[in-house]
Structure 1
Amino acid sequence: MISGPRIVGGHDAQLGAWPWQVSLQVYQYGVGFKHLCGGSLIDEYSVLTAAHCARGHMDPYYWRVVIGLHDTSRPERHTVKSSVREIFVHSEFRIQTFENDIALFKLYKSVNYNDYIQPICLPFVHIHLNINNQTECFISGWGSIAEKGEGSPILQEAQVDIIPSDICNGFEWYAGMINNNMFCAGLESGGIDSCQSWAARDLQLPAGRLALKATLPPTAVKK
C-alpha cells in the first residue's frame, strides 16, 4: 500500500497559499491514481521532487501531475491534471544516504499560470544561501496530520526550525549522516515535522518576495 506524506502538527493551508505545490500521483491497479509525493512547479513544463519518490516507479506512463489542488477529494475549477513525458533522476542519487535526492518530472503540456498556479523561485547557481536557525521555513503537503492518524485531503502547512548540523549529526539523531549539502528541519522537541518513508517533503524558505525550494529526504527531519 502506498501512503501519502504526513505533515505532523500542521494545519489547513489557505486556498492558493502555496501555488507551486503539486500532487504527484501514481496509478494503482483496481484503485486508480493515488497521491504519492509532493513536488514543486518550477516552470511551465517541470516539477521538482525527491528522487526517492520515483524509485521503483520510473515509467512516466503510470504517473500524473495535479496542479492547483487544495483538496484531493474535490478538485477546484482551476485544478490542472497533466500526464508525465519524462522522469529524470540525479545521476549521483544515493538511496543509502539520500545524497542528491532530486528528480525532475517533465510534463506533456505546458501549464498556464493564474492566482492558484505559480512556479516556485529557485536560487541562482552562484548564490550561497545563508541558512541558519533564524531562517523562517515552512513545510507543506497532504496526508496524515498526526502519527498513525487519519489522512487529511486538505493541503497542510507548518512552520519549522532549521536545526544546527552538530545537533542533527549527534548519536541520537543521524550519527554523522548529514553532510554539507544537507540540513535538518523540524523542532528539537518534536511535534511538528514532515515524515513518510516514501514521500517528498516540500520546504519553502521565504526570502523577501521569493520562496526558495528545498526538497527534504527522510533523513533530514527528526520525527
Structure 2
Amino acid sequence: MPRRPALLSLGPHRLGWSSSRTLRLPKGVGVKVGRFLQGAGVAWATALAGAALASTAAASATPRVVGGAPALPGQFPFAVALVQHDVPAERSTFCGGSVISPTAVLTAAHCVNGSSPGELDVVAGRQLLSGAGGDRVAVTNIAVEPGYNADTDQHDAAVLTLAAPTSAPPVALAQPSQVGLYAAGNPLLVAGWGLTSNDASTTSDALQVGSIQAFPDSRCDGYYGDGYDPSVMMCAGSPAGVPDSCRGDSGGPLVASDGAIVREVGLVAFGGATCGDPTIPGVYTRVAAEAGWISSQVGLPTPAPAPSPPPTPTPSHATSSPLRTRVTNVTCGLKGCRIAVTLLGSNARLSSVLVRIHPMPVCGRTRRGRRARCIQLRDAFASARRVRGSLWSASVRDLPLGVVRIFASPRDRRGHKLAAAGTVRIRVRRA
C-alpha cells in the first residue's frame, strides 16, 4: 500500500528545486542532497585532497553525525552551489554543479528547467557558503539538454554560462570510451551542500562529501523498473545505505579516479523518499552519455563514441516477433482500479506483465513560483494476469487520488524486461 512521507520544506528529493517535478520514486521528494557519514568513505575521500582521488579506501574513523563529512580544503575545487540571485548563499542554495570551463557550469536540467538566468547565481571556490572568498557569478544563459524529459528524467543535464570567468578549476569529464569508470563496485565520491539528514530543515553551510560505489544497472532496474534508463543513467549508493546524496544535492558531482585524474562520471539526479535507505539505490545522470552535447556547449572536440558491445545471442528455440505493450483501459471504482494491457507480437520467453503505478508529486509553490513543499507517494506494483489472447489485466487497490502514470512491461521468468513499457497518464478522481 502506498505510504505518504512527511512534508519536506526543501521541495523535491532530486537535488534542488525542480521546476517541473520532484522525485520520481520513493527516496525523498525530488532533489538529492549531500548526506554522508565519516568512516571508510571519508578515509578514502581524504586521499582526494589536492584534486587526486585515491584508488582505495581505508576504514579507520568512527562515524560522526549523520551527514557530517565536511570536504577537506581543496578536495572538490570545481564544485559549485546554485543559489538565488541577491540572496545570501547559505540561505538560498538549492542545487549543485561543477565548473567545466572558466565560464561554464554543468548541473542537472531539473534544477534550472523553466528558470531564467537572472534568477540564479553560481558560488564557486567556497566550501563554506557563509564564508568569504571564492567567486559569486551571475548566470547569463541556461542551456538544457535537448533530449531532457521531465517525466522520465532522461538526459537530465544542463550547462550554465557565467557572466564572468571563475577562478575555480574545471573538472575533467568521463568520456564514452571510459566504460571502466562505471563498472559495478568502482569507488566513487559525491559532494553537495544539501540536507545532512532526513529530519533537517535547512541545507548544509559546509560542502559535504560521501564515499559510495557504482552499483550494477540491474539494481536500479529492479527497483525503478522502466523509470531507470541505463543508457543515460547510472546506479550508485552505499550497501549500508549511508553515505547517500539527498535533497538539495541535485546536479552536484559524482566523481571517480582515473589514475591521477579525477573525472566526473555522474550528476545527482533522483532517489527514494528517504535518504540513506539501503533498499533504494540512487540514480545519477551518466555524464559520458551527455559528453557530445556538453562538448558542443563549451567548444570542445566531440568525444570518441563508446565501443559497441558484442551482440546478444538469441536462443535458437526462441520464436518471437517484437513485443509492443499498450495500456488500453483503466477502470476505477470504490475498491481500486482495473488496468487492461494489450501485448502485440509474441515472445517465447514471455512469463508475466509487471504494472507500476507512479503517483505524480503534489507540490505547493513559493511566491517566486518555485515548487516548495511536496508530497510524494510510493509507487504501487501489481502483476497482470492473462485474460485471453493478447489481453492482460491487473487490479490495484488503494490507488491515490490525483495524477498517476501507469507503466506496463512484459517480463520473462527471471523478471527481465522483454520490451519497452507501455505507459499512460491519468487523473484519478473520487467516485
Q: TM-score range by the shorter chain?
A: 0.7 to 0.9
Could you tell me which of 214, 231, 235 is aligned with 1:184?
A: 235
Query: Is the contact made by 1:197 and 1:218 (CA closer than 8 Å) also made in structure 2?
Result: no
CA contact (8 A) 1:25 1:37 kept: yes
Task: Name the residue aligned to 2:148.
Answer: 93
Contact 2:213 2:236 in 1 (8 A): yes
Q: Does 1:8 align with 2:63?
A: no
Distance in 2 (CA, whole Å) between partners of 1:164 and 1:140 is 21
Pick closer, same or farther for the CA change 1:32–1:38 going to 2, 3 Å: same
Query: In the alignment, which residue of structure 2 is the partner of 1:157?
Result: 209
Among candidates 84, 87, 90, match of residue 139 of structure 2: 84
Which residue among 148, 166, 179 is the counterpart of 1:111? 166
* Secondary structure, aligned partner of 2:110: helix
Are residues 164 and 147 of structure 1, via their aligned partners in 2, closer, same or farther at CA, if it must alter by over 3 Å? same
Superposed displacement of residue 2, structure 1: 4.7
In structure 2, relative to structure 1, the CA distance for the partners of 1:98 and 1:160 (3 Å cut) is same
Give the structure-1-normalised TM-score.
0.85
In the TM superposition, what is the alpha-carbon distance from 1:104 to its structure 2 partner? 0.3
Contact 1:6 1:146 in 2 (8 A): no
Instruction: Give the C-alpha shift of residue 93 in structure 1.
Output: 0.1
Structure number with higher relative contact order (C-alpha < 8 Å, ≥ 6 residues apart): 1
Please state how far the C-alpha of 1:89 moved relative to its aligned partner: 0.2
**Which amino acid in the other structure matches residue 134 of structure 1?**
G
Residue 225 (structure 2) aligned to one of 167, 172, 175: 175
The alpha carbon displacement at 1:123 in A equals 3.3
Give, in whole Å, the separation in 2 of the partners of 1:8 and 1:128: 28
SS at match of 1:166: helix
Q: Structure 2 vs 1, CA of residues 69 and 194 (structure 1 numbering), >3 Å: closer, same or farther?
A: same
Matched-pair contact (CA < 8 Å) for 2:33–2:249: no
Q: Is the 8 A contact 2:95 2:194 kept in 1?
A: no
Higher mean displacement: 197-206 or 62-71: 197-206
Larger radius of gyration between Structure 1 and Structure 2: 2
3-state SS in 1 of match to 2:85: strand
- Paired position in structure 2 for 1:27: 85
Deviations 1:97-123 (A, max 9, x none): 1110010000111223xxxx2110023
Amino acid at match of 1:195: C
Alignment partner of 1:45 is 2:141: no
In 1, Cα distance between equivalents of 2:194 and 2:147 = 29
How far is 1:15 from its partner?
A: 1.8
Secondary structure of 1:175 counterpart: helix
Structure with the largest fraction of helix: 2
| 1:218 matches 2:261 | no
Alignment partner of 2:218: what SS? helix
How many residue pairs are counted as aligned between the two chains? Answer: 210
Q: Which amino acid aligns with 2:209?
A: E
- Alignment partner of 1:167: what SS? helix
Alpha-carbon displacement from aligned partner over 1:160-185 (angstroms, at most 9, x marks no partner): 11111112211xx2123222221111
What is the rounded CA distance, in whole Å, between the counterparts of 2:83 and 2:10 in structure 1? 10
State how far apart, in whole Å, the 2-side matches of 1:47 and 1:26 are: 16
Distance in 1 (CA, whole Å) between partners of 2:84 and 2:250 is 12
2:132 corresponds to 1:75: yes
- Cα distance in 2 for partners of 1:143, 1:122 equals 23
Distance 2:71 2:240 in 1: 23
